[in-house]
Structure 1
Amino acid sequence: MSPAVDPVAPDPTLPGRTDVVIIGGGIIGVTTALFLAEKGIAVALCEKGLIGGEQSSRNWGWCRTMGRDQAEIPLALESLRLWRGMNRRTGRETGFRQPGILYLCETEREVAAQEAWLEQARCHQVDACLLRGAALNDVMPGAARGFIAGLHTPSDGCAEPALAAPAIAEAARDHGAQIFTRTAVRGIETEAGHVSGVVTERGRIACGAVVLAGGAWSRLFAGNAGLDLPVLKILGSVFRTARLPGAPEVSAAGSVFAFRKRLDGGYSIARRNANAAEITPDHVRLLADFLPRLISSRNEIRLRIGRRSWEELRTRRRWSLDEVTPFEAVRVLDPKPRRGLLREARAALSRTFPAFAAMQVVESWAGLMDVTPDAVPIIGGVEGRPGLFVATGFSGHGFGIGPGAGRLMADLVAGDQPVVDPAPFRLSRFARAKTV
């Protein structure tokens, strides 16, 4: 069952021309649209299904700097700055607040790993700190068993995934952006090598730039355009509870569970350090790219053969622009959650915090995350393809760093000074990132 997302009504008429077309209406697409529109640039956002209908409404809702790859920390800090003002900026509720986030440590080995990250992150002036004893109990009371330490970032926050992307999309429209749902982009047209327009299922839009922000669909779309993106899909599962008094306010994660308090007083809960990946043809094609990460994360990624294995084996990888595409055949990816993983999270959380023993599960869902070999996103222009930009591969971090990523992408498209250094996110860092 997919979580209910605030609906966004589409604009009625497709434009004949615009400055920029954004492909994808998730958190990255809508934030890029907002910041481009604020710059006075004409934008048409085309989403094949619903705004925020896939992973952007299915994630944990965390907005964190803590534990980020060093390349992502400046982007995460900028995102937090933007999140803090997002309700005011949009004039709508995104659910953002800052209860802090805590990583609970059970072993000295886990403590050493958090200390190593903290030492590297100090140059970014993050406010994370390692807590022990009474200081840890003050932040995280109510545990039935003791944790030896916890890495705590009091400024880290969370927002409501079902509210945020729709609110930002509506704000982009307030600034002149046009929003189109159930409007799949079939492909990109070029003139003299430069982007000249897109063809959608409803007609053509002339434009000078295209931003591909298609999440789990980005690799398939790019492949038909002759671009080999090293991105795979990983399944994450989440459940939410009814209102639950007495449980912690701070968002937290142990070795088996992760949770955050929701605006409605319930909790979103997930199995930490265990995601599922159904083996598909792309796993074979990209094996050499992902093998080092699969080895290092062998206890966190559970490979299996499943329904998606056969679905992707049958999915067309090439089509002409006058043909119905896979994006029109599947409007919203709505995979089934891994209930075994969720049961593990629920059991561990109930043993650890007695307040959770009384939880009532309201619903559960799953989403497909777009993951790169180094778990760092791709944000930037495509070499040799003037006018084509890509923002994908956010590896489960896209919701939290979405505002900063959208701001960075808008700066790059507009030719303005980028808000953070874009070099760590360039597509060309991957050897296979070439036209085919």
Structure 2
Amino acid sequence: MPGPFVVPFHGDTELPAKVDVVVIGGGAIGASTALELVERGLKVALCEKGGIGHEQSSRNWGWVRISRRDPREVPLMAEALRIWDGQAERLGRDVGYTRAGIMFTCANDTEFAQHERWMKNLEGYQIESRMLTQREFDAICPGGKLPIKGALYTPLDGRAEPQKVAPAVAEAARERGAHVMTECAVRGIDTKAGKVCGVFTERGYIACDAAVLAGGAWSSLFARNTGLRLPQLKVINSVLRTKPLEGGPEAAIWSNGFAIRKRQDGGYTIANGFENIADIVPDSFRFFKDFMPALKHEWRSLVMRGGLRFLDEARIPNHWKMDEASPFEYCRVLDPKPSFSLQDRALNNLRKAFPVFAKAEVAQRWAGAIDVTPDAVPVISGVDTLPGFYIATGFSGHGFGISPAAGRLMADIVTGHMPCVDPAPFRFSRFSDGSKIELISGF
């Protein structure tokens, strides 16, 4: 099942001999990091094993939101909203960004109170967020038949086009001097005197002073071969898009049975906002204890699935030599099969809530692998035990909207600048220094 069409990006043919920083992974996070670094005058090489933005960066919902964020992510997302405002001008390319608002519906008084409490996380920010009654919700989204208590509404939240963003950011980075290689997997890190001194790629060696791992769902495997334990699992989210449809809501909506956002082409991206698939694989057992606290809270939203994926991942080596092909060269694009049943259920729920979608025609279906951490908060951090090595991964389904600020924070850390926000919540060492790892609700 092929993923969505991504704006084509043609990688450089020549490998640089030496740069200041190598960024591993050409998704929205990696591309944003590369752009920030090259704008600060550093020599940068961005290496992607497949195509720019071909995995989760192009398969997500396209939401740009601060509402319902984990409180630890709110400062970074506030920074991201500021960047998104001028992103098209900065990149010189259209990325489909618009502020159309996002609504999280409340089915009852308990949910209404939870959403209302969440708004306290925005105190001190000049970001409007308010609770709506059902009448106010219906006025903004006419034609609906949702029996709700109300909704959390954040007008400054918006949307962008995932199939455009990573290629646009990568092109802007290249225009500013970055080397951008596609179909160029990084096999591993080279060190000298305990510090990063280069990377081995399938196309040759690049000397560097620092390397940033932004490999999404592949990051844990890469880290393992480097001698690092990065607790991370993959969760599969299934998405469909419709052909253009008139009369649907302008604002994005999350409800218990569906999540939607309007697309730039007039169609809609639709998913199930509550159900995702977690395949049982060897990493499920490897990181079982790490994820136990999260499972206690989130098990209702996960469909645990056994099957051939266990055997597929069991065959993947955990260690390999730098002069032999790595697992990243045998799987250029992670392209999981979507769950038609979850997609159809979401579409049927949407049609009940907004009858106009009875006319919606499905144009395409796909799925993406979300890289999740035990506390659903990303790692944006240096690695204390390996100077010169940095990690930006584990965005747990929240990465697309926050990517411009995540790239900025990662660049701050690499260059030693004053960080744009406090990086402490995102430190890699929290998984090994005895810190309490907890999943904090977005309420």
TM-score between the two structures when normalised by the length of structure 1: 0.98
- The one-letter code sitting in structure 2 at the alignment partner of 1:321 is M
Aligned-residue offset at 1:12: 1.8
Aligned-residue offset at 1:189: 0.3
| CA distance in structure 1 between the aligned counterparts of 2:433 and 2:59, rounded to whole angstroms | 30
Which whole-Å deviations, capped at 9, do the CAs of 1:369-392 have from their partners, x for residues lacking one? 110000000001001211000000
2:114 paired with 1:113 = yes
2:297 paired with 1:296 = yes
Question: Across the two proteins, how many residue pairs are aligned to each other?
Answer: 434
Q: Which is worse superposed, 69-78 or 305-314?
A: 305-314
Paired residues for 1:58-207 under 5 Å: 58-207=59-208
| CA distance in structure 1 between the aligned counterparts of 2:398 and 2:121, rounded to whole angstroms | 19
Paired residues for 1:234-249 under 5 Å: 234-249=235-250
- The one-letter code sitting in structure 2 at the alignment partner of 1:129 is R
Q: Partner residue of 2:439?
A: none
Check whether the contact 2:103–2:154 (CA below 8 A) recurs between aligned residues: yes
- The one-letter code sitting in structure 2 at the alignment partner of 1:234 is V
Aligned-residue offset at 1:113: 1.6
| CA distance in structure 2 between the aligned counterparts of 1:120 and 1:87, rounded to whole angstroms | 28
Partner SS state of residue 300, structure 2: coil
| CA distance in structure 2 between the aligned counterparts of 1:125 and 1:426, rounded to whole angstroms | 27
| CA distance in structure 2 between the aligned counterparts of 1:415 and 1:202, rounded to whole angstroms | 30
Which whole-Å deviations, capped at 9, do the CAs of 1:244-299 have from their partners, x for residues lacking one? 00000001111110000000000000011111010011110111110111111111
Aligned-residue offset at 1:125: 4.3
| CA distance in structure 2 between the aligned counterparts of 1:305 and 1:124, rounded to whole angstroms | 44
Q: Which is worse superposed, 317-326 or 124-133?
A: 124-133
Distance 1:230 1:124, change over 3 A: farther
* Structure 2: runs of 5+ lacking an equivalent: 435-443
| CA distance in structure 1 between the aligned counterparts of 2:77 and 2:6, rounded to whole angstroms | 24
- The one-letter code sitting in structure 2 at the alignment partner of 1:207 is C
Identity of aligned residues (%): 52
- The one-letter code sitting in structure 1 at the alignment partner of 2:352 is R
Check whether the contact 2:134–2:151 (CA below 8 A) recurs between aligned residues: no
Q: Which is worse superposed, 392-401 or 120-129?
A: 120-129
* Structure 1: runs of 5+ lacking an equivalent: none
Check whether the contact 1:228–1:432 (CA below 8 A) recurs between aligned residues: no
Q: Partner residue of 2:376?
A: 375
Aligned-residue offset at 1:134: 3.0
Aligned-residue offset at 1:105: 1.2
Q: Partner residue of 1:349?
A: 350
Partner SS state of residue 123, structure 2: helix
Aligned-residue offset at 1:7: 1.0
Q: Partner residue of 2:441?
A: none
Q: Partner residue of 1:14?
A: 15
| CA distance in structure 1 between the aligned counterparts of 2:385 and 2:37, rounded to whole angstroms | 23
Partner SS state of residue 332, structure 2: coil
Which whole-Å deviations, capped at 9, do the CAs of 1:396-422 have from their partners, x for residues lacking one? 001010000001101111111111111
- The one-letter code sitting in structure 1 at the alignment partner of 2:11 is P
Check whether the contact 2:68–2:118 (CA below 8 A) recurs between aligned residues: yes
Partner SS state of residue 48, structure 1: coil
| CA distance in structure 1 between the aligned counterparts of 2:82 and 2:91, rounded to whole angstroms | 14
Partner SS state of residue 299, structure 1: helix
Q: Partner residue of 1:250?
A: 251
| CA distance in structure 1 between the aligned counterparts of 2:433 and 2:282, rounded to whole angstroms | 17
| CA distance in structure 2 between the aligned counterparts of 1:186 and 1:71, rounded to whole angstroms | 33
| CA distance in structure 2 between the aligned counterparts of 1:245 and 1:216, rounded to whole angstroms | 36
| CA distance in structure 1 between the aligned counterparts of 2:360 and 2:222, rounded to whole angstroms | 41
Q: Partner residue of 1:261?
A: 262
| CA distance in structure 1 between the aligned counterparts of 2:309 and 2:97, rounded to whole angstroms | 34
Paired residues for 1:360-371 under 5 Å: 360-371=361-372
Partner SS state of residue 292, structure 2: helix
Q: Partner residue of 1:219?
A: 220
| CA distance in structure 2 between the aligned counterparts of 1:80 and 1:116, rounded to whole angstroms | 22
Aligned-residue offset at 1:120: 3.5
| CA distance in structure 2 between the aligned counterparts of 1:55 and 1:173, rounded to whole angstroms | 22
Aligned-residue offset at 1:139: 1.8
Which whole-Å deviations, capped at 9, do the CAs of 1:44-65 have from their partners, x for residues lacking one? 0000000000000000000000
Check whether the contact 1:230–1:432 (CA below 8 A) recurs between aligned residues: no
Which whole-Å deviations, capped at 9, do the CAs of 1:80-122 have from their partners, x for residues lacking one? 1111111100001111111000011111121122112113432
TM-score between the two structures when normalised by the length of structure 2: 0.96
Q: Partner residue of 1:418?
A: 419
Q: Partner residue of 1:387?
A: 388
Moved over 4 A (4+): none
Aligned-residue offset at 1:432: 7.6
Q: Partner residue of 1:427?
A: 428
| CA distance in structure 1 between the aligned counterparts of 2:165 and 2:412, rounded to whole angstroms | 21
Q: Which is worse superposed, 287-296 or 303-312?
A: 303-312
Q: Partner residue of 2:210?
A: 209
Aligned-residue offset at 1:135: 2.1
Which whole-Å deviations, capped at 9, do the CAs of 1:279-322 have from their partners, x for residues lacking one? 01111011111011111111101111123222111111110101
- The one-letter code sitting in structure 2 at the alignment partner of 1:387 is G
Check whether the contact 1:65–1:126 (CA below 8 A) recurs between aligned residues: no
Check whether the contact 2:74–2:121 (CA below 8 A) recurs between aligned residues: no
Aligned-residue offset at 1:25: 0.1
Q: Partner residue of 2:359?
A: 358
| CA distance in structure 2 between the aligned counterparts of 1:195 and 1:431, rounded to whole angstroms | 21
Cα root mean square deviation, aligned: 1.2
Check whether the contact 2:21–2:211 (CA below 8 A) recurs between aligned residues: yes
| CA distance in structure 1 between the aligned counterparts of 2:357 and 2:240, rounded to whole angstroms | 13
